[in-house]
Structure 1
């Protein structure tokens, strides 16, 4: 049975690949059926139909051949094929004696029209074909108008139109299912690509923030240690201790970030690195130890933030202070405020640096070509549906302010 099924499938595929040859075979089969039918006398000798008592005339043979030949073009021009077969059938009804079953070609052509056009066309053409052929058969046929074969013309043409319309509807239904499946597959692929791109951006932001912050602190403390190594070894040791602490913190955060890539199929695995505003004081101490005075004001102690908002606020403060330490110049101070305002949390970082404001974290500026600090901040805030403003302050310095909603786009509500 499987071999038979495979053979049928291959034969069907070959016929679909050569539609003209398929139609030619169908036309030959219809011609053979019409020729055989022309030898049948439906009335016979009174006991039933008989075969071979009558024979088709030359005109009938010509009409049958014309009707079959028109079916070769039934797919390319279905309406024209129906017009030709219908005209041949009418001519046979009017002049055919003895009659030949030329109407069979018109039935096949009508089925093709119904299966390859729309429903309104099927209704109009089908009713017109049934009406004309039945009326001509009743008016000009050799049998009485109420003869069974005249009603058969009406029945066969009606069934051909109905069958063709059913096939067209089923084909359209299958095509719609395939189109929906293809669209769903494309949507899944696009969603997967979008998620991959978002994850790459998120990991890139986290790695940038961790590396930029801790490497900047290590650089500062290493410079201090090298400067005072000979004259003040105690201070050099303290600076090296800060270097060791900053490097250890960098390794811990890198391990937490990269560890996310190794976790698969674990619903309990964290989806974000650990840092948040709960350890903000520790973050500020690292900058103070590096020589940057930082003041803090916050009114969010009683607010439970969503994890994404908590991490974003922490990273924005970290990146902004890193930019201050790198670009604001010697003697600069910074102020950090975290305020609860309605359904939002406002995070602001100010400095009074004297360096050109273009260099303060601005991508492509002198001294920091191709930086991604502000870009990463904007991406973080935008992903949460918030707003970020960054620019120079009147009188000198720089200001970064982020407004983060307490209800994230994912629906997590952190307001308490």
Structure 2
């Protein structure tokens, strides 16, 4: 396989050979479109001017000047000045236009075009219109070549810009993919944390109750153990479904159950009741349907807050209150235990952080802290979808009839 350097050499040799042949062909032309054998001077001029072309990459301006000087010798040595004779000048002009700025190109080629026709043939004293047309074509040859060179320069610049845009677009797609992967990992980490913290806390509470009642009330201890078995089985099922997301990142069929929401809160509270935590729930205002993400966030906030009560509050009761407003719902979980003091003594965990991140992801906020009268309170404010005009009209008509 040819290397790039070998290919460049072959291409350069081809350009020099073609320029030599074209220039030599121009040396064979005579007036009245006759062709004769090229004289020795034509061979020398074609060889010298074509031999200068390899230098056009390193010194394009100098090469244009040198090839223009060779073109100026065409008429004095008795050859017919045609565009073929200035082929090396055209090639060097093309290379100059590709590599140099426009002002440099104009400064070099305009004088060169004039000099190519500045020296008249020694044997001619007057010119016909055909001669003038031919010389004008000779002068225009390097300028036309420069136009093609500028076009090539612009095309290469355009391709470079498009390649850069494609590269940046590819980097943006990779960055977006990494961001999505990071977001998905964070979401799965939150789900795993909520799942493990909740179920393990309940299992620990049920095991503690069973151990306490084992010697005095064996029947109740057996009931607690049965509930413990059910809790651990449910935890394994949820853990298996969540981990299934990692095994099949593009297939969500592993999740056969819908995401939990406020509709599942009564069932959630019953699990805490069985674990020994009495939880009461109150709602203020008419309930409204929530978007799936907000519904899941509301459920997870209640779950995590009650889990923290079970682990840290050292109390047997808690309260969940939902306040429905026009554009938001406020979820408040309170207890009267010692969770606030313990929260200051232990290192910060991921429960409150996870709740705040979940709420922020749906446009809400979470505030947590000690209550002045004792205990701990977690309050989440989550946005509600805007009510439709139809619903507002219906509510207005109902209110009017009631009044």
TM range (shorter): 0.7 to 0.9
Task: Measure how far apart 1:186 and its partner are.
Answer: 2.6
Pick one of 12, 18, 34 that aligns with 1:23. Answer: 12
Match of 2:120?
Answer: 141
Match of 1:7?
Answer: none
Task: Measure how far apart 1:80 and its partner are.
Answer: 3.9
Residues 17-416 of structure 1: pairs in structure 2 closer than 5 A:
19=8, 22-23=11-12, 25-38=14-27, 40-43=28-31, 46=32, 48-52=33-37, 54-56=39-41, 61=44, 67-90=49-72, 92=73, 96-98=77-79, 103-117=86-100, 121=102, 124-125=103-104, 127-128=106-107, 131-142=110-121, 147=131, 148-260=133-245, 273-299=258-284, 302-329=287-314, 331=315, 333-355=317-339, 357=341, 359=343, 366=346, 371-406=349-384
Q: Secondary structure at the match of 2:204?
A: helix
Task: Measure how far apart 1:337 and its partner are.
Answer: 2.2
> Against the structure 1 CA distance between its residues 93 and 298, is the aligned structure 2 distance closer, same or farther, given a 3 Å change threshold?
farther
Structure 1 gap ranges (5+): 1-9, 408-412
TM-score by length of 1: 0.78
Q: Secondary structure at the match of 1:394?
A: coil
Tell me if the contact between 2:320 and 2:331 (Cα under 8 Å) persists in the aligned partners. yes
Task: Measure how far apart 1:351 and its partner are.
Answer: 2.5
> Against the structure 1 CA distance between its residues 55 and 41, is the aligned structure 2 distance closer, same or farther, given a 3 Å change threshold?
farther
Distance 2:168 2:387 in 1: 37
Distance 1:85 1:53 in 2: 20
Deviations 1:305-328 (A, max 9, x none): 111111111011111111111112
Q: Secondary structure at the match of 2:301?
A: helix
Deviations 1:192-219 (A, max 9, x none): 2222222222112112111110111111
TM-score by length of 2: 0.80
> Against the structure 1 CA distance between its residues 414 and 325, is the aligned structure 2 distance closer, same or farther, given a 3 Å change threshold?
farther
Q: Secondary structure at the match of 1:345?
A: strand
> Against the structure 1 CA distance between its residues 238 and 164, is the aligned structure 2 distance closer, same or farther, given a 3 Å change threshold?
same
Number of equivalences: 381
Task: Measure how far apart 1:107 and its partner are.
Answer: 0.7
Tell me if the contact between 1:70 and 1:84 (Cα under 8 Å) persists in the aligned partners. yes
> Against the structure 1 CA distance between its residues 116 and 414, is the aligned structure 2 distance closer, same or farther, given a 3 Å change threshold?
farther
Tell me if the contact between 2:340 and 2:370 (Cα under 8 Å) persists in the aligned partners. no
Q: What is the RMSD of the two structures over their aligned residues, measured on CA atoms?
A: 3.5
Tell me if the contact between 2:68 and 2:116 (Cα under 8 Å) persists in the aligned partners. no
